[in-house]
Structure 1
């Protein structure tokens, strides 16, 4: 499509280039300090807020590369009891058939789990963790009440941002008028023009988000919440990446395997159901650690809303 860069850092170099939001790096010279300075007569194609958010994520450090395999979807998300993420691979049997196993990379004696057994155990646990219809209805009602309150707050914030946006526009026009009539110097004009333009772009983005956030959240609850009545179905129908994200959300990335059974110190509160039966069936042993997980919503409405929103993004927007 015309991209001439082929290095492994090509995309990263593009995303970290300040030219895209109207700034450039300037080296220090004599008594003048270096740093980022606005470009003259250069229209940015990315708003400053987006550029800064992207670069903050890049600065957090790159994660290890993951190789996804539909046969072993828990590789890279299920942990050994030693805390290490389990790897996975196929092993060829005497008759030539391949069998998949999850293994600990620290020591083979820690875990060497048959994938079929592990998947059946997880399916059984998720089935028993599914939410009954009456609880889904209750969560929906509580979430709608909470969202009504949040929506009112958003409307107030929206009005405030709109006023600030109009004020920034008026100030920008005033600065331009003073520059045209030679009442301010060029350096002063450049500085105020860039600051006000950046503020307007940031406010515009926030206004757009506030306008659409409420309607989107209501539609998510209406269209997606009922899926949680069969959590195993949600997991089974998901892609490998979706399965991993769902497991990390429900167990907060604390799902591990030890002595032939899944174990976890955390489950998203609404799914804390049938713990005794799940343990007796040999699926999952849930032991809550109060010291580490003391702040948990009592109603579960907030957690479910977050799960539904995240699940929608993963499943339908491929984020």
Structure 2
């Protein structure tokens, strides 16, 4: 009865009726576990306060409520809403307005010409008037993507370097794994010997049970350690090779891909926004793997004076 009354009070506090629902009340409501079917029982005498399942039907799941709390506390990133883009505007929502007094993300749209043809533009939704031809911006982006792609022979160099580094870092782990397997085999042989001696009457039952307890206990510990070690897969080279080849052809994949694949490539390579000055794109940060690829690619081409790109 007490829980039912508290539930009713909580519902009234979350939905305050005709009173104005202020911004502060909204954030308080977002923290209320009542939404996921739980209520808080305050401490009473020597009993500690706790959350219990209420008798009302929850509006959301406990997982959804926990995800919201993680976002509010900064432990989880907010998922950005999907931006609908036309095939002619793959960079819509990725380019930041260059106007220092604006800093909005450029949208895009089509304008109908006098002859009935459509012309596409990236433009700002504010009165700043920033506007770029979509064809020019798209071509500039594709040109820079081609420049970043590894040159012929670089993929093989990357694969060889990765496998060498991978083998060096996992050498100690493989040695430990081999040693553990050897210890487990030795313990199993000891147990089998004790089992045969006990069957032949050469070992008392009490002694056999003691040996069994010790060997089985040690084997369980070793098997847990073995499970914690990552098994080095023989297919790692093929996996790395196929992945790097996709990166090597990233410009062709972008050029020939549909709108969803193009936007996926842009968001994967450029975690932050793009900037366009009318001629070339800039960005504050590249995907670390792509940045490493781009750096090694430049070194491979012996370009020590930098590059025209502002990545």
1:100 matched to 2:120: yes
The unaligned stretches of length 5 or more in structure 2 are 1-29, 54-62, 179-223, 299-306
The corresponding residue for 1:45 is: none
CA offset at residue 257 of structure 1? 0.5
CA offset at residue 93 of structure 1? 0.9
Q: Verify the 8 A CA contact 1:89 1:100 in the aligned structure 2.
A: yes
Name which structure has the greater RCO, CA cutoff 8 Å, separation 6+: 1
CA-to-aligned-CA distance 1:197-254 (integer Å, 9 cap, x gap): xxxxxxx9xx79x868957865431222123333310212334333233223333424
Q: TM-score, normalised by structure 1?
A: 0.49
Q: Verify the 8 A CA contact 1:80 1:104 in the aligned structure 2.
A: yes
Q: Verify the 8 A CA contact 2:93 2:105 in the aligned structure 1.
A: yes
Q: For residues 233 and 158 of structure 1, do their structure 2 counterparts lie closer, same or farther at Cα, with a shift above 3 Å needed?
A: farther
Q: For residues 79 and 155 of structure 1, do their structure 2 counterparts lie closer, same or farther at Cα, with a shift above 3 Å needed?
A: farther
The corresponding residue for 2:152 is: 133
The corresponding residue for 1:27 is: 40
Aligned residues: 205
1:66 matched to 2:86: no
CA offset at residue 57 of structure 1? 5.8
Instruction: Mark the structure with the bigger radius of gyration.
Output: 2
- With 126-135 and 142-151 compared, the bigger mean Cα shift is at 142-151
The corresponding residue for 2:129 is: 109
CA-to-aligned-CA distance 1:96-150 (integer Å, 9 cap, x gap): 121111112234533x111122222222222222102322112112222333356
Once residues 106 and 229 of structure 1 are traced to their aligned partners in structure 2, the CA distance between those partners, rounded to angstroms, is 38
Q: Verify the 8 A CA contact 1:79 1:254 in the aligned structure 2.
A: yes
Matches within 5 A, 1:15-94: 25-31=38-44, 32-35=47-50, 56=70, 60-82=77-99, 83-94=103-114
The corresponding residue for 2:19 is: none
Q: CA RMSD in A?
A: 4.6
The unaligned stretches of length 5 or more in structure 1 are 1-12, 39-47, 160-203, 275-283, 289-319
Matches within 5 A, 1:1-319: 25-31=38-44, 32-35=47-50, 56=70, 60-82=77-99, 83-110=103-130, 112-148=131-167, 151=170, 218-267=237-286, 268-272=291-295, 285-287=308-310
